[in-house]
Amino acid sequence: MDITNYMHTIGRQARAAARAMARADGATRNRALLLIAAAIERDADRLRAANARDLDAARDNGLAPALLERLALSDKAITTMVDGLRQIVALPDPVGEMSNLKFRPSGIQVGQMRVPLGVIGIIYEARPNVTVDAAGLCIKSGNAAILRGGSEAIHCNRALAALVAEGLRGAGLPEQGVQVVDSVDRAAVGVLITMPEYVDVIVPRGGKGLIERLMREATVPMIKHLDGICHVYIDGKADIAKALPIAFNAKTHRYGTCNTMETLLVARDIAPTVLPQLAALYAAKEVELRADAQALALLDGYPRLAAATEDDWRAEYLAPILAVKVVDGIDAAIDHINTYSSKHTDAIVTEDYSDALRFLREVDSASVMVNASTRFADGFEYGLGAEIGISNDKLHARGPVGLEGLTSLKYVVFGHGEVRT
Amino acid sequence: MDITNYMHTIGRQARAAARAMARADGATRNRALLLIAAAIERDADRLRAANARDLDAARDNGLAPALLERLALSDKAITTMVDGLRQIVALPDPVGEMSNLKFRPSGIQVGQMRVPLGVIGIIYEARPNVTVDAAGLCIKSGNAAILRGGSEAIHCNRALAALVAEGLRGAGLPEQGVQVVDSVDRAAVGVLITMPEYVDVIVPRGGKGLIERLMREATVPMIKHLDGICHVYIDGKADIAKALPIAFNAKTHRYGTCNTMETLLVARDIAPTVLPQLAALYAAKEVELRADAQALALLDGYPRLAAATEDDWRAEYLAPILAVKVVDGIDAAIDHINTYSSKHTDAIVTEDYSDALRFLREVDSASVMVNASTRFADGFEYGLGAEIGISNDKLHARGPVGLEGLTSLKYVVFGHGEVRT
């Protein structure tokens, strides 16, 4: 069977299974999740063996160490997957929830019901834990899923797919409720993102190159984020005792994450006080600073200092590098952010009430924060229980996407025989 | 200036104006709406004169009578536009509303804020009233708008655009907050739907041909509906005193609307009772019935009767024609609807509690109703105050789209100096 036929078959099966997944009650969906968790615990040895085959092949193919680390299924990773499934079980059932049922002058009562989106396609790198996390979130939210993980994880993903199928079957749900694409053909992705008749939304998780390709080619809507160019603005009225740890944490807690600060903005009034103190903190972590003219002067003598260019304001370094700019005040800060931010997460540090409210209101990003590190932009930290991804889009869902993002609201009408006159 | 440059200029201006629109407080946006309403009342004679030019040209070009009717700006239409603006003023301000602000274990407080989408592009037929309705909804929701109405209405739309700009200016908002595309070049639409850098969402209002073209070409997300193949299912446990008026109203109240019933499903038990009585009602309206084999037998002798083909289950007649099918019961009804419905609006008539809940839950349509006419699927009837369109999509907004559909939720974090550990 060629890859197009294969993917269309997967799609048809997913569409059919989606009806049964949506119809199932919450107890049934939770039962499937618990059965999958138990099966993973039972078969941990087999999973490690499958993972070892993937790792051997990946090492032979010279996969980069960082990617090998993501591919590896450690004992801790298995425990985290299993715990993750049980945490999803404990979350409230989002499906079928009704809200705002109001009577109208005509006599009908109108409200909304939360319902699954249908079929979710998830495209991700060679990280076996994502297979289980994504399956768990889709099952809990009453959706069918088509999972396409990086080909380096194929043996482990196959083993996990069998356990997910076993759990679905055990709960009386269709095995096709979650399908793992069992092909390393890269063309599978191209088909998956162009079959809107079978797939309702694509959630791509991967590097910028993948996302840009999908944006050009996809005809299925996506919940995606392209990059994380996050800002911290230290206002003239900032409490320095808050500003220093926030600006330090937002940059250095982890360099490779999308909610890491990439540009620091500092109000002119406070820059002479705050920049030298921050420099001392960054120096200990060997952070390179790319500064505008005013900041350069204040950072004179810093060991890793360079003049910022226009490119620096648009850079997602994902590395111990930080762009630094002195701005006149909140207007200039908001203007810079709304021009250069990737609309992911931006924070202000201030004790000024009006500046705080203006920043919250006027910065057009998925997460906007006052006096907190940008690193908090995360489904777990926000209390969503789990996240399928982070959205930089403006429609449907912004920021961390949990179970609610995998559902939408339809209208329900309770009538008593009303007709329109 | 060629049309691409012209549209990109419009787009750039809209993007710049969108910031000011989003920043403006509710009182300012309401003031603009009231100024526009007053200007329309003041200039009613000039608007009628501009409309007369459009009508003369349209008659010369042989525009169909139904389209001429939509193009005409009667005294009543002007009053309705003005009243519509004042009703929008009276709606609660959706922008900046914060909800669900909860403390997290880390100490941060996380919630969501409703914010404008940014720039809305609206493509519609030659109906001048849509220019004002759409401008009103976009201003109220803090968005900038680019309006592209049918070229036959160009003189009237120009006159209205000047009044909208006057109102924006009078309230201290940028005139470019609402721009009417002042070109009859059809290529303008092609540019508008492929400039995601300037436009956040397209709302197309028009016939199926237009929507299908946009679906093929658009790279900007759309809030759209393609067609309305709506069903009424008369259950075996239906109250006939409710079923007859609902099935009659859903078909015959208006033939050309998207929430009109196009297929009637009747449970086998009740079909011998209900179909002959319904036939008597439909006969008075000269409705043609396209029936499956079982329904054909029960409708024997009906003057406008034909055998249904597969095409009839997929037909949006928008005419006094109705497809009729006898089904075994609720399972078959849900199955038929989830196969053939356009996911717009479907209704069950029943007194059975469990069947009612199953239908609400399992029918995958934007509006699902019990014991009410499908004709109620409408922004005004639902209490949204006004509607910009109806969505058949599953992401973002389903069903009638009001002010909330022109906004989305971003996360806001109130911190106290928290960092991630």
Distance of CA A214 to the CA centre of its chain: 16
Inter-chain contact A382–B104, Cβ cutoff 8 Å?
Answer: yes
The most distant pair of C-alpha atoms in chain B lies apart, rounded to whole Å, by 80
Q: Is a pLDDT exceeding 90 seen at residue A179? A: yes
From chain B, pick out residues whose CB is under 8 angstroms from the CB of A200: 394-395
Q: Say if residue B204 is in the same domain as residue B243.
A: no
What is the domain-level CATH number for residue A10? Answer: 3.40.605.10
Indicate whether B168 belongs to any domain.
yes
**Weakest-pLDDT range from A352-361, A382-391, B279-288:** A382-391
Indicate whether B11 belongs to any domain.
yes
From chain B, pick out residues whose CB is under 8 angstroms from the CB of A376: 106, 108, 413, 415, 418, 420
Inter-chain contact B113–A360, Cβ cutoff 8 Å?
Answer: yes
Partner B, chain A 188-217, Cβ-Cβ below 8 Å: 200-201
Dihedral sign, Cα of residue A125, residue A127, residue A130, residue A132: positive
Give the gap in angstroms from C-alpha A286 to the nearest C-alpha of chain B.
Answer: 20
Q: What is the pLDDT of residues B262-291, one digit of tens each?
A: 999 999 999 999 999 999 999 999 999 999
Q: Is a pLDDT exceeding 80 seen at residue A1? A: no
Q: What is the mean pLDDT of chain B?
A: 95
Owning domain of residue A295: 230-381
Residues sharing a CB contact under 8 Å with residue B357, sequence separation 6 or more, in sequence order: none
Indicate whether A421 belongs to any domain.
no
Give the gap in angstroms from C-alpha B51 to the nearest C-alpha of chain A.
Answer: 31
Indicate whether A349 belongs to any domain.
yes
Q: What is the pLDDT of residues B351-387, one digit of tens each?
A: 999 999 999 999 999 999 999 999 999 999 999 987 8
Inter-chain contact A413–B23, Cβ cutoff 8 Å?
Answer: no
What percentage of chain B has pLDDT greater than the value 70?
A: 100
Q: Is a pLDDT exceeding 90 seen at residue A387? A: no
Report pLDDT for A212.
87
Give the gap in angstroms from C-alpha B367 to the nearest C-alpha of chain A.
Answer: 5
From chain B, pick out residues whose CB is under 8 angstroms from the CB of A415: 347, 369-373, 376
Q: Say if residue A192 is in the same domain as residue A262.
A: no
3-state secondary structure of A109: strand
Question: In this structure, are residues A359 and A330 in contact, taking their beta carbons and an 8 Å threshold?
Answer: yes
Partner B, chain A 371-400, Cβ-Cβ below 8 Å: 371-373, 375-377, 381-383, 393-400
A367, closest residue in chain B (CA to CA)? B411
Quote the strand ranges of A174-260, DSSP E.
Answer: 178-180, 201-204, 230-234
Q: Is a pLDDT exceeding 90 seen at residue A336? A: yes
Q: How many whole angstroms separate alpha carbon A208 and alpha carbon A225?
A: 9
Inter-chain contact A376–B420, Cβ cutoff 8 Å?
Answer: yes
Quote the strand ranges of B65-106, DSSP E.
Answer: 98-103
Q: In which band, very low, low, confident or very high, does the pLDDT at A208 lie, cut at 50, 70 and 90?
A: confident
From chain A, pick out residues whose CB is under 8 angstroms from the CB of B248: 419
Report pLDDT for A225.
82
Q: What is the pLDDT of residues A51-80, one digit of tens each?
A: 999 999 999 999 999 889 989 999 999 999
Q: Say if residue B267 is in the same domain as residue B307.
A: yes
* Dihedral-angle region of residue B64 (phi above 0 means left; psi in -120 to 50 means alpha; beta otherwise): beta
Partner B, chain A 325-354, Cβ-Cβ below 8 Å: 338, 347
Q: What is the pLDDT of residues A220-243, one digit of tens each?
A: 989 988 889 999 999 999 999 999
3-state secondary structure of A146: strand
Report pLDDT for B420.
97
* Residue A32, H or E segment: helix A26-42
Q: Say if residue A293 is in the same domain as residue A377.
A: yes
From chain A, pick out residues whose CB is under 8 angstroms from the CB of B419: 245-246, 248-250, 253, 372-373, 375
Give the gap in angstroms from C-alpha A139 to the nearest C-alpha of chain B.
Answer: 16
Report pLDDT for B215.
85
Q: Say if residue A34 is in the same domain as residue A117.
A: yes
Report pLDDT for B379.
92
Give the gap in angstroms from C-alpha B59 to the nearest C-alpha of chain A.
Answer: 33
Q: Buried b / exposed e across A153-191, counting CB within 10 Å, b at 16+?
A: bbbbbebbbbbbbbbbeebebbbbbbbbbebeeeebbbb
Q: Say if residue A310 is in the same domain as residue A255.
A: yes
The ipTM is 0.94
From chain A, pick out residues whose CB is under 8 angstroms from the CB of B360: 113, 412
Report pLDDT for A379.
92
Q: Report the domain count for chain B.
A: 2
How is residue A268 annotated by DSSP?
Answer: T
Report pLDDT for B281.
98
Q: How many whole angstroms separate alpha carbon B255 and alpha carbon B262?
A: 9
User: Contacts for B275-282 with beta carbons within 8 Å, 24 or more apart?
Assistant: B275/B299, B275/B324, B275/B326, B277/B240, B277/B244, B278/B244, B278/B247, B278/B248, B281/B244, B281/B248, B282/B248, B282/B251, B282/B252, B282/B322
Cβ-Cβ pairs closer than 8 A, A with B, add up to 220
From chain A, pick out residues whose CB is under 8 angstroms from the CB of B249: 419-420
**Weakest-pLDDT range from A205-219, A258-272, B164-178:** A205-219
Q: How many whole angstroms separate alpha carbon B69 and alpha carbon A83?
A: 64
Q: How far is CA B28 from CA A355, A366, B134, B167, in A?
A: 20, 25, 18, 11
Which residue out of A119, A362, A412 would a mutagenesis test of the B interface target, given it has the greatest number of B Cβ atoms within 10 Å?
A412
A241, closest residue in chain B (CA to CA)? B417
Report pLDDT for A72.
94
Q: Say if residue B361 is in the same domain as residue B410.
A: no
Nearest by CB to residue B118, choosing from A249, A394, A420, is A394
What is the domain-level CATH number for residue B325? Answer: 3.40.309.10
pLDDT in tens, chain B (421 residues): 799 999 999 999 999 999 999 999 999 999 999 999 999 999 999 999 999 999 999 999 999 998 898 899 999 999 999 999 999 999 999 999 999 999 999 999 999 999 999 999 999 999 999 999 999 999 999 999 999 999 999 999 999 999 999 999 999 999 999 999 998 888 999 999 999 999 999 999 888 888 888 888 888 989 988 889 999 999 999 999 999 999 999 999 999 999 999 999 999 999 999 999 999 999 999 999 999 999 999 999 999 999 999 999 999 999 999 999 999 999 999 999 999 999 999 999 999 999 999 999 999 999 999 999 999 999 999 999 878 989 988 999 999 999 999 999 999 999 999 999 9
Question: In this structure, are residues A58 and A71 in contact, taking their beta carbons and an 8 Å threshold?
Answer: yes
Indicate whether A323 belongs to any domain.
yes
Report pLDDT for A58.
95
Residues sharing a CB contact under 8 Å with residue B49, sequence separation 6 or more, in sequence order: none
Inter-chain contact A108–B372, Cβ cutoff 8 Å?
Answer: yes
From chain A, pick out residues whose CB is under 8 angstroms from the CB of B375: 419-420
Q: How many whole angstroms separate alpha carbon B162 and alpha carbon A101?
A: 41
Indicate whether A389 belongs to any domain.
no
Question: In this structure, are residues B226 and B393 in contact, taking their beta carbons and an 8 Å threshold?
Answer: no
Indicate whether B420 belongs to any domain.
no
Q: What is the mean pLDDT of chain A?
A: 95
Q: Say if residue A206 is in the same domain as residue A327.
A: no
Nearest by CB to residue A106, choosing from B367, B376, B418, is B376
Q: Say if residue B64 is in the same domain as residue B202.
A: yes
Q: Say if residue B209 is in the same domain as residue B235.
A: no
Report pLDDT for B216.
85
Inter-chain contact A411–B367, Cβ cutoff 8 Å?
Answer: yes
Inter-chain contact B366–A411, Cβ cutoff 8 Å?
Answer: yes
Inter-chain contact A96–B409, Cβ cutoff 8 Å?
Answer: no
Nearest one of A234, A248, A224 to A375, comparing CA atoms:
A248
B96, closest residue in chain A (CA to CA)? A361
Inter-chain contact A383–B102, Cβ cutoff 8 Å?
Answer: yes
Ordered alpha helix ranges (H), A91-239: 128-140, 154-170, 187-192, 208-217
Quote the strand ranges of B141-196, DSSP E.
Answer: 144-148, 178-180
Whether chain B has a CB inside 8 Å of the CB on A253: the answer is: yes
Nearest by CB to residue A383, choosing from B110, B369, B372, is B110
* Residue A418, H or E segment: strand A407-418
What percentage of chain A has pLDDT greater than the value 70?
A: 100
Inter-chain contact B382–A22, Cβ cutoff 8 Å?
Answer: no
Which residue carries 């996809």 as its tokens? Answer: A218
Inter-chain contact A22–B362, Cβ cutoff 8 Å?
Answer: yes
Indicate whether A386 belongs to any domain.
no
Report pLDDT for A213.
87
Nearest by CB to residue B372, choosing from A367, A393, A418, is A418
Q: Say if residue A131 is in the same domain as residue A18.
A: yes
From chain B, pick out residues whose CB is under 8 angstroms from the CB of A109: none
Mean pLDDT of A188-213: 91
Q: What is the pLDDT of residues B232-265, one digit of tens each?
A: 999 999 999 999 999 999 999 999 999 999 999 9
Q: How many whole angstroms separate alpha carbon B403 and alpha carbon B138?
A: 8
Inter-chain contact A411–B249, Cβ cutoff 8 Å?
Answer: no
Nearest one of B334, B338, B320 to B233, comparing CA atoms:
B334
What percentage of chain A has pLDDT greater than the value 90?
A: 90
Q: Is a pLDDT exceeding 90 seen at residue A254? A: yes
Give the gap in angstroms from C-alpha A153 to the nearest C-alpha of chain B.
Answer: 31
Report pLDDT for B225.
82
Nearest by CB to residue B19, choosing from A338, A409, A410, is A338
3-state secondary structure of B93: coil
Q: Say if residue B158 is in the same domain as residue B53.
A: yes
Inter-chain contact A411–B201, Cβ cutoff 8 Å?
Answer: no
